[in-house]
Amino acid sequence: MDSDSDSDGSHVSATPPRDSFPPSPPPLLQSPPKHVPPVSRKITSSSSRSNPKAPTQPPPNPSQEAPVVPSSSPPPPSPLFTNLPFRICESRTARFSSSVSSFSRLRSRSSFTSDEKLKSDGLDFVPEPPQVEVIAPPKSVRRKPPNLITDTITSPPVKPMVFRSSGNGEGNFVKLNLNGKRGKKFPSKYKGVSKSRSNYAFRGKRYKKKEADGDGESLLEEESDLQKQIEDEANGFISSVEDAILAVKTEASDENLTKLLNLVYGYDSFRDGQLQAIKMILGGSSTMLVLPTGAGKSLCYQIPAMILPGITLVVSPLVSLMIDQLKHLPSIIKGGLLSSSQRPEETTETLRKLREGIIKVLFVSPERLLNVEFLSMFRMSLSVSLVVVDEAHCVSEWSHNFRPSYMRLKASMLFSELKAERILAMTATATTMTLQAVMSALEIPSTNLIQKSQLRDNFELSVSLSGANRMKDLLILMESHPYKEIRSIIVYCKFQYETDMISKYLRDNNINAKGYHSGLPAKDRVRIQESFCSNKIRVVVATVAFGMGLDKGDVGAVIHFSVPGSMEEYVQEIGRAGRDGRLSYCHLFYDNDTYLKLRSLAHSDGVDEYAVGKFLTHVFSTETKQHEKICSLVIESASQKFDMKEEVMQTILTHLELGEVQYLRMLPQLNICCTLNFHKSSPNTLAARNTIVAAILKKSHVKQGLHVFDIPAVASSICVATTDVLAEIQTLKMKGEVTYELKDPAFCYTILKSPREICSLSSHLTKWLTEIESCKVRKLDIMSSAAVAAISVRDTSELSSSAKQTLSLQSRIFDYFNGDEKCDTPSKTTQNCAFLRADIKVFLQSNRQAKFTPRAIARIMHGVGSPAFPNSVWSKTHFWGRYMSVEFRVIMEAAQTELFNFVDRNAALAT
């Protein structure tokens, strides 16, 4: 059912003539319009369209894919929840640059004339003016026509990768003698060489023919000639690359580097920023690189990896991204990957290759990078020339995609533990505030910032107001010019259910579309991505899960079915269009209900001081003298108990490990409860010769003949690591001695120091988490207000509305990434509501049995579930989501007052 049979991809791969409107190069603007006057305007594109059948109502508990991290509006007054939660007693009673050097000239298809020019004033981004590298204005980019279904592929997008890997994940077959030991010959593994591959293919055909002719001998001769020719070609190539590398090692000149680029990648020149970054890295400096999506950041570590003597470690946030990057390594660089999700034998193999010096570029997850075993291996035997922090914005809590595990990536650790020589941090989307946080954590001097635009200039950006008929509006858009002619389109939605619903709707209307979200089995996701890349699927309707690392050059349009959660998310997602430099179209459907829903959801990770205090008390409940004890926190039960999401607990624990004071050390997460069944030898016989089994017997209780025990308790009792206990029971299982089951995933840690005062620590942590919550809400407000501002632009005699909308959005994006992100953005929520307090009162009275906090009540009124108040139960209440349009903080305050009143009333009644 989930096959591609519904794909009517045939017409998509047709190759009709190119668009006859090749827009001219984008000239520079003299000055970016700081302000787009909010002129009111009637929205034309979609809202006024006729009304087909109404879209299906969203289910009450949509599975949102947007990354989740705490946030809220302006920090609420720190409430003293010391008496909370209130128990309700029985009684009776949710191409620009910083150096954006240019605003491209914007042209609508109707208004393109070759000499309309708007110039930029070259507003170069200079965070610390005297120190930032001065970036030359980018070369004007020759705009290519969009990728249309009707394109004649007379000149397909340049595919200059001469020596690419096969794309099977193993990737790189030809091992280059990068360490400079000339003269050593390479094994004949030339499968990665495209030329050779085609020779093999050619040979295969000929072989079959000659075999049929009965000309066996000449065929064998030819075979061996071909083999020799292939080897000669590959050896010739390798020695040319070796020569080019040697030349760069001798002198890292522009000429030598360009020669190497040309040889390995087939490109004639570096793109803006690449050469500067490569030279800076080769010069030994840590570097912060900000280039737009698809601008070629990967090359900026791949080339240094060929030159530098040690290993290049690339830290990436997602395994899928690592796999993708590994696949895209040029075949001459041998790569490897280490992630927590690998099988032990895969890890062992990669570690072996690392030790033997076979791997030159290693992709690694941040968790893996800090694994004790991994670190000790590097300390002992391996030298790291370069650590690359990809998607470096994840280091900062002020980014749209903060990852607690990235907090571990501190320069002090990378330099001291890994002996890294330099760091390269790369991102496409970072505000000034995020950049400062990343550069400070990674100790990158402000002089070493290379920042080009955050946005390429080949986008036509548009927004329309939509509502209940959004699916119909989408269909109308997709059936109109230019979308109807575009060969590859991504539609981004917020919720998983939307991807299925919309893709089905499009298919029902003869548009070849597939849904994609993280809830799909991995093999289906891979298949959909591959089918999209090979143009068998025209439209992918996806959540945020799709696109990271996607390098499909000819995506001609990106449509946002809902407003993105932040400018960063918007820029990242539209960045998947037009990577081949052609004009591409990006449309956003704005609707107020979705904005409010997303705003409510932005509060779902918020915490109260009371809950944080309770959590900390639990974390540090172990006796201080038992410092070496391995403590554990079962995720599911803790999440319910403290009404905190897993990510929030992880953020707090990581802060306790990596904040100013190191209170604890995190250990690998594992399923801590083990049920063991002995089969061959008796438990006591095994225990007599095995200390771990002896400890298991001591610490377990027997239930229906099975031994049930807590792995950290067993490990602590004999001072071994939890992984040793796990390894032992695995060995016993292989010998047929036991079978076992594991359950209860838990955070594990050892306490290094108990805080003197839980109260002040919880107050500090709550303040920090509340700021993160506010930051998330503010990002959505800024994105929303940019969309609304673009909607309100009006046609003028000089510019069409689409050109004006593009300018308006570009201007907002520029301001956002280069200005003060903290500036106040008007929210569209209301501050008061007449019936709120009365409704809360009724709500409390009808739910006397529950233990509420003001935050829990505010979430329910916003229609947002939490671990202790799940949607499945609470969406049934009459008040669920009723006050979504009222500011979250206002509801919390009202709830707090009503909770106090309620408790007082009950107390009075009780006496």
Question: Residue 311, SS3?
Answer: strand
Q: Report whether 432 contacts 288 (CB < 8 A).
A: no
Nearer to ligand ATP, 427 or 866 (CB): 427
Residues 522-551 that bind ligand ATP (CB under 6 A): 551
> Mind spelling out the 3-state secondary structure of 105-164?
CCCCCCCCCCCCCCCEECCCCCCCCCCCCCCCCCCCCCCECCCECCCCCCCCCCCCCCCE
Residues 254-313 that bind ligand ATP (CB under 6 A): 267, 270-271, 274, 291, 293-299
CA pair distance 682, 497, nearest whole angstrom: 52
Nearer to ligand ATP, 231 or 551 (CB): 551
CA pair distance 210, 435, nearest whole angstrom: 63
Nearer to ligand ATP, 488 or 829 (CB): 488
Nearer to ligand ATP, 265 or 816 (CB): 265
- Least Å distance, CB 267 to ligand ATP, is 4
Torsion angle in degrees (nearest 10) through CA of 369, 374, 376, 382: -90
Nearest residue to ligand ATP, scored by beta-carbon proximity:
296
- Least Å distance, CB 486 to ligand ATP, is 20
- Least Å distance, CB 575 to ligand ATP, is 6
Nearer to ligand ATP, 118 or 290 (CB): 290
Residues 733-752 that bind ligand ATP (CB under 6 A): none
Site string for ligand ATP, 564-583 (x = CB under 6 A): -----------x---x----
- Least Å distance, CB 119 to ligand ATP, is 26
- Write out the two tokens for 482: 């230019």
Q: Are β-strands 423-427 and 489-492 bridged in parallel, bridged antiparallel, or unpaired?
A: unpaired
CA pair distance 787, 564, nearest whole angstrom: 10
CA pair distance 467, 471, nearest whole angstrom: 9
Nearer to ligand ATP, 299 or 787 (CB): 299
Site string for ligand ATP, 576-615 (x = CB under 6 A): ---x------------------------------------
10 Å CB burial of residue 25 (0-12, 13-18, 19+) is middle
- Least Å distance, CB 325 to ligand ATP, is 8
Nearest one of 454, 348, 347, 434 to 389, comparing CA atoms: 434
- Cα-based angle 584, 574, 64 (whole degrees, multiple of 5): 140
Nearest one of 303, 301, 217, 209 to 263, comparing CA atoms: 303
Nearer to ligand ATP, 295 or 612 (CB): 295
Nearer to ligand ATP, 296 or 556 (CB): 296
- Cα-based angle 220, 225, 230 (whole degrees, multiple of 5): 125
Nearer to ligand ATP, 298 or 499 (CB): 298
- Least Å distance, CB 262 to ligand ATP, is 10
Nearer to ligand ATP, 301 or 663 (CB): 301
- Write out the two tokens for 18: 């190119």
Residues 428-447 that bind ligand ATP (CB under 6 A): 428
- Write out the two tokens for 505: 């709707």
Nearer to ligand ATP, 299 or 751 (CB): 299
Residues 344-373 that bind ligand ATP (CB under 6 A): none
- Least Å distance, CB 456 to ligand ATP, is 10
Nearer to ligand ATP, 58 or 581 (CB): 581
Q: Report whether 491 contacts 556 (CB < 8 A).
A: no
- Least Å distance, CB 384 to ligand ATP, is 21
- Least Å distance, CB 581 to ligand ATP, is 9
Nearer to ligand ATP, 532 or 874 (CB): 532
- Least Å distance, CB 362 to ligand ATP, is 18
Q: Residues binding ligand ATP: what is the number (CB under 6 A)? A: 16
Nearest one of 428, 429, 426, 419 to 444, comparing CA atoms: 426
- Least Å distance, CB 820 to ligand ATP, is 25
Nearer to ligand ATP, 293 or 446 (CB): 293
- Least Å distance, CB 614 to ligand ATP, is 41
Beta bridge partners of 739: 677
Nearer to ligand ATP, 73 or 316 (CB): 316
Phi, psi of 148 (to 5 degrees): -110, 155
CA pair distance 407, 868, nearest whole angstrom: 28
Nearest one of 556, 544, 549 to 489, comparing CA atoms: 556
- Least Å distance, CB 561 to ligand ATP, is 21
Q: Give first-to-last CA distance, the chain, whole Å.
A: 65
**Helix and strand counts by DSSP (H, E) for the chain:** 29, 20
Residue 692: partners with Cβ closer than 8 Å, 6 or more residues away: 714, 718, 720, 724, 725, 728, 729
Q: Report whether 826 contacts 38 (CB < 8 A).
A: no
Work out the angle between the directed axes of helices 646-658 and 609-619 (0-180°, nearest 10). Answer: 60
- Least Å distance, CB 337 to ligand ATP, is 17
Q: For residue 326, state whether it binds ligand ATP (rule: CB under 6 A).
A: no
Work out the angle between the directed axes of helices 758-791 and 592-601 (0-180°, nearest 10). Answer: 170
- Least Å distance, CB 718 to ligand ATP, is 47
Applying CB under 6 A, the residues found at the interface with ligand ATP are: 267, 270-271, 274, 291, 293-299, 428, 551, 575, 579
